[in-house]
Amino acid sequence: MAQQVNDVVRAVFLDRDGVLNRDKGYVYRESELELLSGVAPALRRLKDLGFLLIVVTNQSGVARGLYGTADVERFHDALSRAIAAAGGPRIDDYLYCPHHENGTVAAYAIVCDCRKPKPGMLLTAAKKHGIELTRSFMIGDKADDIEAGRRCGVTGIQVGTAYGPGHPDAMAVVNSLEDALGFIH
């Protein structure tokens, strides 16, 4: 069915590690994938509310030479399969930043516009999918995730505070993706 002209395209932007899967530090092997509890039903609920689901993740391990872009893409395929196997919906898009200014792989050892807290990945997704950013949400476990959203008008919800205090502009700090649902309308 074609989208009507007056329909607003909204998205929930999701950080990956620590929000969807357990963050074990530079996770890229399928064998390391551990879907967090409640993720699949929470994603299903967001999809039922009409949101696009867009993963936006910093993957500096590429710039650091720990793994390659093909490894990131294989991991995303595995993550999609795990979500589907748990009854969750399809992720509409995956965007990742392979850059880090202190990387050891010259092609990726740059200052870029996509590494969160910069909003490049969100802006790219908005352009690609016609997303109304001011009607969308960013869910992440780090202040940089919330800041990336703030910089382009996206409402942030922070999951946990394992990486320090919650971002002052976060709408809420919650324990899990499931808990974030209460703040999304």
The catalytic residue positions are 15, 17
> What is the rounded CA–CA span in Å between residue 180 and residue 185?
10
Residues in the chain: 185
φ, ψ dihedrals at 94, nearest 5°: -120, 125
Helices (H), 92-142: 120-129
φ, ψ dihedrals at 162, nearest 5°: -60, -25
Which tokens sit at 32?
Answer: 């390391």
Task: Find the farthest-apart pair of alpha carbons in the chain and give their distance in angstroms, rounded.
Answer: 47
